[in-house]
């Protein structure tokens, strides 16, 4: 078995080996984040129940959608611009890009957070018919600014080749800090409430921003002041805003729509199934972080042959991992769900449906990322817009008639169709097939 593994490694080209090397570090970091996120979910599921967990997750999902608006597609622009500039050693361009994003996205985050806080009570009462959502949602909204700035620095850090560090700041540290705080609270017999949990999340996000800022100052030292280059960055970011918005809406539409078409208990049950199903595409998320800067500069150098080989080998690897997870959840899904509590066992069918959707996503590889990094942002935007529209329509019908099962079916269908379309256009426009055939 080990001989077979090493033979497979030896067959990989230089670029794929680099992606694998960076992915290994990212895997370790993401596993820590995944364990922390699942630990939080289990802890809350057992302490505040499905309904309480639903309120926390719903507030988090709403903020994630708003965060995409605050980022305005700039994270992809930063990774692309900084990766190319770092390769060409044009440090002034890096300084300009980061300064522009900090100013623009920071200002936008303040405006979005302020406006949403003003209308939170009306939103919670009229849209979700749950006034109890008001206070935790306001608390979560306070952290939009530090979250936005953390993501700017995370994208910049990714652009200079620090992949696992970028993942640490973008997704992992917050969960680790929240879990540690919950465990300390448990040890000292401090009451766990929805409000306390919201405060923990906000405090952790401020702390992550401070650490990310300090790390960026350490890895990138360029004494000259940066200049504002907002216009060219916005020209690239604007198509990506819709891409990012539709991507996040597609990811969160099911949960948010359950919030106002059903209740927070349904949100709690479904969110656990959704979180577990995402493990199926875990390796794809990791490899995409490592492969995105490489795609940008390889395409700028015209190295399509190297890109094709790297993409196919990477996709084959993530399919193998996804198959293991799919089989694991198929046979042991009910037992895994019972860890959250016996009431969560009814999420088994949605779990399997969502896993199938994610397996299709994994099997198509980095097709969407390929379109973005190779200059076809507008095409990716159009595909994403059509997909999210279909997703919302299917969720509306599915949730109305079948509840959380309908939400899972709608989401799986949309994920499958969207990614197959992206494979077709990646081959047609870039000339690269992401399927490992």
**Structure confidence by residue, pLDDT tens digits, 374-414:** 878 788 888 888 888 999 999 999 999 999 999 999 999 99
Give the pair of three-digit tokens for residue 156.
């910049």
Give the pair of three-digit tokens for residue 320.
């193998």
pLDDT of residue 151: 95
User: How far apart (Å, rounded) are the C-alpha atoms in residues 395 and 208?
Assistant: 34
Tell me the per-residue pLDDT of 318-359, one tens digit each, with 9 for 90 and over. Answer: 899 899 999 999 999 999 999 998 999 999 999 999 999 999
For residue 120, the SS3 value is helix
Q: How many CA atoms lie within 13 A of 374 on its CB side?
A: 26
Tell me the per-residue pLDDT of 6-15, one tens digit each, with 9 for 90 and over. Answer: 444 455 556 6
Global pTM? Answer: 0.78
- Residue predicted with more confidence, 3 or 48: 48
Average the pLDDT over 68-91 and give the result. 87
- Residue predicted with more confidence, 117 or 167: 117
231 Cβ contact partners less than 8 Å away, ≥ 6 residues apart:
none
Tell me the per-residue pLDDT of 276-285, one tens digit each, with 9 for 90 and over. Answer: 998 888 777 7
Average the pLDDT over 214-232 and give the result. 86
Cα dihedral 139, 65, 230, 234 in deg (nearest 10): -170
Mean residue pLDDT of the chain comes to 87
């Amino acid at each position: 078995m080990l001989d077979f593994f090493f033979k497979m490694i030896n067959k990989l080209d230089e670029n794929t080996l680099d992606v694998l090397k960076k992915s290994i570090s990212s895997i370790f970091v993401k596993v820590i984040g995944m364990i922390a996120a699942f630990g939080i979910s289990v802890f809350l599921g057992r302490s505040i129940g499905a309904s309480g967990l639903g309120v926390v997750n719903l507030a988090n999902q709403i903020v994630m959608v708003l965060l995409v608006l605050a980022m305005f597609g700039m994270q992809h622009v930063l990774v692309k611009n900084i990766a190319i500039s770092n390769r060409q050693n044009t440090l002034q361009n890096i300084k300009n890009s980061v300064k522009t994003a900090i100013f623009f996205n920071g200002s936008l985050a303040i405006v979005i957070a302020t406006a949403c806080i003003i209308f939170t009570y009306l939103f919670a009462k009229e849209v979700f018919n749950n006034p109890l959502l008001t206070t935790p949602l306001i608390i979560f909204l306070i952290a939009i600014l530090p979250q936005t700035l953390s993501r700017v620095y995370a994208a910049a850090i990714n652009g200079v080749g620090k992949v696992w560090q970028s993942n640490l700041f973008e997704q992992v540290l917050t969960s680790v800090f929240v879990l540690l705080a919950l465990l300390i609270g448990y040890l000292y017999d401090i009451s766990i409430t929805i409000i306390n949990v919201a405060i923990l999340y906000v405090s952790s996000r401020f702390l992550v921003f401070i650490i990310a800022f300090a790390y960026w100052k350490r890895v990138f030292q360029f004494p000259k002041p940066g200049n504002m280059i907002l216009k060219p960055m916005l020209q690239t970011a604007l198509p990506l805003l819709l891409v990012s918005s539709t991507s996040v809406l597609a990811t969160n539409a099911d949960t948010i729509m359950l919030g106002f078409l059903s209740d927070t208990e349904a949100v709690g049950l479904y969110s656990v199934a959704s979180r577990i199903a995402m493990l199926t595409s875990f390796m794809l998320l990791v490899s995409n972080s490592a492969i995105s800067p490489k795609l940008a500069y390889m395409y700028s150098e015209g190295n399509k042959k190297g890109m094709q080989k790297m993409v196919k080998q990477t996709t084959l690897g993530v399919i193998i991992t996804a198959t293991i997870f799919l089989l694991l959840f198929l046979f042991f899904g009910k037992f895994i769900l019972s860890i959250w509590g016996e009431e969560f066992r009814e999420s088994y069918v949605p779990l399997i449906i969502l896993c199938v959707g994610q397996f299709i996503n994994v099997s198509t590889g980095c097709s969407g990322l390929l379109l973005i990094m190779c200059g076809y942002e507008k095409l990716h935007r159009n595909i994403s817009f059509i997909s999210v529209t279909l997703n919302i329509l299917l969720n509306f019908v599915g949730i109305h008639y079948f509840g959380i099962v309908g939400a899972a079916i709608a989401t799986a269908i949309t994920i499958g169709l969207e990614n197959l379309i992206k494979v077709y256009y990646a081959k047609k426009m870039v000339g690269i097939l992401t399927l490992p055939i």
